[in-house]
């Protein structure tokens, strides 16, 4: 089908399931480490499209869940500064394929964009508790 560059948090079981869904759907998936990628504001904004600032954030991140960061209260500039400083705050997965970029796991959107296997659509964006050993903020 298509080649998908998939930016994931290492050790995230949810991201691993999502990669398997894409592969089972016939896609070639190139997994990249979301936490060590050299992000810039311009590049990252390309994944968010017209989403509101609050939707740029991983709701499972410890700093968001704990209330230290309240995405709804942030300006775009402040939000981007936080995401660039701590990529674990970025909503994931980030995916790039067929000339488009998207953030988050939305099986219906992905099916319309690049196609998904019929019975293959885990709905969770977050990791299972304790997944992975590299955890900057979640």
Q: Which positions are catalytic? A: 12
Contact partners, residue 74, CB within 8 Å, separation at least 6: 53, 54, 82
Q: What is the DSSP letter of 92?
A: S
The neighbouring-strand residues paired with 24 are none
Spatial contact of 81 and 75, defined as CB atoms under 8 Å apart = no
d(CA 83, CA 15): 19
């Amino acid at each position: 089908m298509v080649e998908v560059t998939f930016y994931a948090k290492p050790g995230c079981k949810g991201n691993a399931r999502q990669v398997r869904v894409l592969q089972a759907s016939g896609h070639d998936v190139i997994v990249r480490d979301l936490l060590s990628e050299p992000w810039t504001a311009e590049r990252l904004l390309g994944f968010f499209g017209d989403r509101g600032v609050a939707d740029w954030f991983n709701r499972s991140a410890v700093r968001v869940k704990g209330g230290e960061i309240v995405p709804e209260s942030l300006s775009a500039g402040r939000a981007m500064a936080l995401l660039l400083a701590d990529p674990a705050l970025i909503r994931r997965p980030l995916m790039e394929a067929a000339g488009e970029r998207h953030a988050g796991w939305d099986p219906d959107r992905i099916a319309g964009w690049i196609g998904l296997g019929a019975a293959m659509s885990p709905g969770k964006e977050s990791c299972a508790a304790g997944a992975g050993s590299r955890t900057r903020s979640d």
